[in-house]
Amino acid sequence: MQQQYEGYKDLADSLKSASTLLNLERKSQLHQDIITICNHLVNPSFRIAVFGPFNHGKSTLLNAMLGNRTLPIDLIPTTGASITVKYGSDVRTRIMLVDGTEIYRNGTEILQQFAILDGNRQMRKDVASVEVFCPNPFLETGVEFLDLPGTNDRDEQDNLVREQLLSADLVIQLLDARKLMTLGERENLRDWLLDRGIKTVIFVANFLNLLEPDEQKQVQNRLLFVAESFRAELPPGFSNLYRVDALPALRARLKGDVAAANSSGLAAFETALQNIVGILQPNRGSVRLPRVEAIASQIQLSFKAKIDPIAIEIKSFDDKQNSKIEIKQKAANLIYKGFTASIRELRDWLALPKLLTKYQADAAVALAENNFKVWQTNNFKKDLNQLQLAAVKWLYQAYEFFQEERPQDLLIPFPSEPQVILPPKPSSTDDLSEPGSIAVGGGIGWLLGGPVGAAVVGSISYLLNKNIQKQDEQLAKESYHQDVAKLCITAIEDYLFNFSSKALSILTEYEQKADKVICFEVSQEPLEITNKREKLQQLQNGFNQLLKELEKVKIISNNQPYKEIPKYSNTKRKYSPQPNRVQISPEKHPDVKRQQENTTKNTRTRVESVSPPPPPKAPPSPRKEEVEAKFRDWELNEEIARMKAEMQSPGFKTSKQQNTTQSNEAPKQPKTQTQKDKITRAYSILGLQTNASLAEVKQAYRTLVKKWHPDLFVNQPQLQKQAQEKMHLVNEAYTILSDK
């Protein structure tokens, strides 16, 4: 029979675990109810409790059903403990004390010592349970009787009765026909039985024999009304109301007077009771589970009362942390975007073909004029410094924002000055009298100022602008001046090649080092939050497990299981927007390798491979693309500055929190008419309606800046002046509308 209830063991364990997780006090009503119902769930016996106020004859009725004076009865409240009556081969009693001591005695005389109220009508504090064993055929079928203390006497007794009613499969509520259904009895019926899912209840009226015949008829009508108004969940065809005159029934049973026992109502009640038990006993789960459902509902409310505040606190923390991380991620991505764009621009500038196209002619002339150092400082180095600073500024921006590794400056050295070895001079040249080849460093200034110097500079221009692929007869008869010019051109090509190769290698290494700067660590969460997160997980798991076990026994809850909360790693995690790069050694860098492949030891071949520069042009006006690039750079800086200010704000809140608290903030002071006029005019300047959103204001500002940026009109002084005036108004309008 015990095996039939193995399925409820998991449910009982889940209920007990819930009590532990909720940290319920041992003396709390919910904790006691949980322990009681858990023990009852796995109890294979069918338990019948006799329930009612003191002096209603509960023990007398049970003694009549058992056929002897098994239980103590008297004219004063006697039952001072919950007495369980079970089947046994002979009459004996077992007392369990709180300290674990077991007391066995034959008979029931020991009940007078442990199971009745003392002189002050108090229950004994040291008694844990009282069991009586009787050789009764009805008990032998697996039935137990539970004789409860009388109610409406002492709170301590009432609490015991209320607790023990949960462990009863069937409740016999004894009524006194002389004072039928008092207010206290109606309250107990509602609070102790109905509200706790105990609906297998039979009403038994006692003392009806003490009334006059007319009174008995009136009382019976009232009893029928009480029984019909209470919807007991008994098997179909059985009444929930019976009359038993307990004391006459006991006397008749002790005398063996069958007729008197029948007239007392005892026989009819016993027959009905045995039939009801015979139907309910095989399916005790349908009787017990409604009590579980009522208790489980209280447990779920207690769970939610603990879970929801912790969940709200953790969600608030996570939202705030995630908002900060999101801002940092966005800042890291923006900085990385600006940095990679600057690096890309610098790498493009360092490409050898670009360097040759842009600088070879001027550098060769400067070398021929003995003016190379000045050209390197004022032109070449100046351009490089601007590009270097444009890239490095993003790393300092990242360091200021994230405070990770301090960046290093990007240092690209220049090669040694070009060296030129002059060819032998023609003997026919009058103004060149020095013998042999002369090594010249830093220029060939001795040639300048005369016809040969002018010829060399002219030859540089001629050679670099001549399509070498179409060599004609005149080129085959090259002059000495062209030979010298080729030497200057070749020296500059070597110089720029060495510079480009070294610079690209340095740039690659520098870009990899930047990974340690443009990043941030997700810091470890406070121990208090970690502990609360673990506690929340335990509570949610307990709640979900309870729902799962209830579902197994067809108890459907209105609550939904909690979703698993995201696991939070306490170890520091580093976020970096950079993609994984393949490490490339400088000598294998594609730009360097390409340059090496395109270079040979043959000086003439190198000279002939020089790409011709574009023909001279007038100073170009700034292109629209350059204005776009400047504007994007400005936008990135502005966005990063805004995020930094938001991160450093002491009152930092998530956007959701900000929306929630906006309604609680003090209203802004009303604007003066002058301020209103300025705002209206600002909208007009930007070409917007006065109800335009901030996003629309920003978009209009972007459009106007790209249209009226003064750099677009460098070669048109009049239009540039108009553009400057227009941009002054646009900037002023944008400032007013951003701060309103």
> What's the token pair of residue 476?
């085959």
By percentage, how much of the chain surpasses pLDDT 70? Answer: 76
At 296, the amino acid letter reads A
CA dist 323 and 655 (Å) reads: 8
pLDDT of residue 53: 84
**Cβ proximity of 87 and 210 under 8 Å:** no
Burial group, residue 168, by CB count within 10 angstroms (0-12, 13-18, 19+) = buried
pLDDT of residue 284: 86
Name the domain boundary from 262, 279, 303. Answer: 303
Domain range for 226 is: 25-303
Which of 289-298, 459-468, 660-669 is modeled with the greatest confidence? Answer: 289-298
Q: Reduced to 3 states, what is the DSSP secondary structure of residue 35?
A: helix
- 385 found inside a domain: no
- 496 found inside a domain: no
- 671 found inside a domain: no
pLDDT of residue 637: 65
Top-confidence residue, 98 or 310: 310
At 314, the amino acid letter reads I
CA dist 280 and 200 (Å) reads: 10
Tens digit of each residue's pLDDT (9 = 90 or more) over 19-61:
999 999 988 989 999 999 999 988 889 999 998 887 788 888 9
- 198 found inside a domain: yes
pLDDT of residue 462: 74
Nearest partner of 739 among 652, 731, 630, judged by Cα:
731
Q: Which residue has the tokens 């409604």?
A: 290
Confidence of residue 139 (pLDDT cuts 50, 70, 90): very high
Q: Which helix (H) or strand (E) covers residue 102, if one does?
A: strand 102-106
Name the domain boundary from 256, 284, 303. Answer: 303
Confidence of residue 662 (pLDDT cuts 50, 70, 90): very low
- 195 found inside a domain: yes
Nearest partner of 354 among 593, 595, 590, judged by Cα:
595
Top-confidence residue, 582 or 358: 358
**Beta pairing partners, 521:** 574
Burial group, residue 446, by CB count within 10 angstroms (0-12, 13-18, 19+) = middle
Choice among 23-27, 294-298, 323-327, 473-477 with the minimum mean pLDDT: 473-477
pLDDT of residue 646: 62
Top-confidence residue, 594 or 537: 537
- 360 found inside a domain: no
Tens digit of each residue's pLDDT (9 = 90 or more) over 397-422:
889 888 888 898 899 999 999 988 87
The mean per-residue pLDDT over the stretch 573-587 comes to 56
User: Could you tell me the CATH number of the domain that includes residue 238?
Assistant: 3.40.50.300
**Beta pairing partners, 53:** 151
Q: What are phi and psi of 478, to 5 degrees?
A: -65, 145
Name the domain boundary from 278, 303, 328. Answer: 303
Tens digit of each residue's pLDDT (9 = 90 or more) over 185-205:
778 788 888 888 888 999 999
pLDDT of residue 278: 94
Tens digit of each residue's pLDDT (9 = 90 or more) over 64-106:
888 876 666 543 345 557 889 999 999 899 998 888 899 999 9
Confidence of residue 583 (pLDDT cuts 50, 70, 90): very low
Q: How many CA atoms lie within 13 A of 214 on its CB side?
A: 0
pLDDT of residue 437: 36
- 656 found inside a domain: no
CA dist 290 and 555 (Å) reads: 8
Confidence of residue 229 (pLDDT cuts 50, 70, 90): confident
Q: Provide the domain count of the chain.
A: 2
| 29 CB neighbour count, 10 Å cutoff | 13
Confidence of residue 567 (pLDDT cuts 50, 70, 90): low
What mean pLDDT is reported for the chain?
79
Confidence of residue 216 (pLDDT cuts 50, 70, 90): confident
| 496 CB neighbour count, 10 Å cutoff | 24
Tens digit of each residue's pLDDT (9 = 90 or more) over 238-266:
998 999 999 999 898 888 898 998 999 99
Q: Which residues of 672-689 are buried (b: 16+ CB within 10 A; e: fewer)?
A: eeeeeebbeebbebbebe
Asked whether residue 733 carries a pLDDT value surpassing 60, the answer given is yes
Nearest partner of 363 among 353, 373, 354, judged by Cα:
373
The mean per-residue pLDDT over the stretch 563-590 comes to 56
The residues, any chain, with a CB within 8 Å of residue 454's CB and separated by 6 or more, are none
At 472, the amino acid letter reads D
The residues, any chain, with a CB within 8 Å of residue 192's CB and separated by 6 or more, are 161, 162, 165, 198
Confidence of residue 648 (pLDDT cuts 50, 70, 90): low
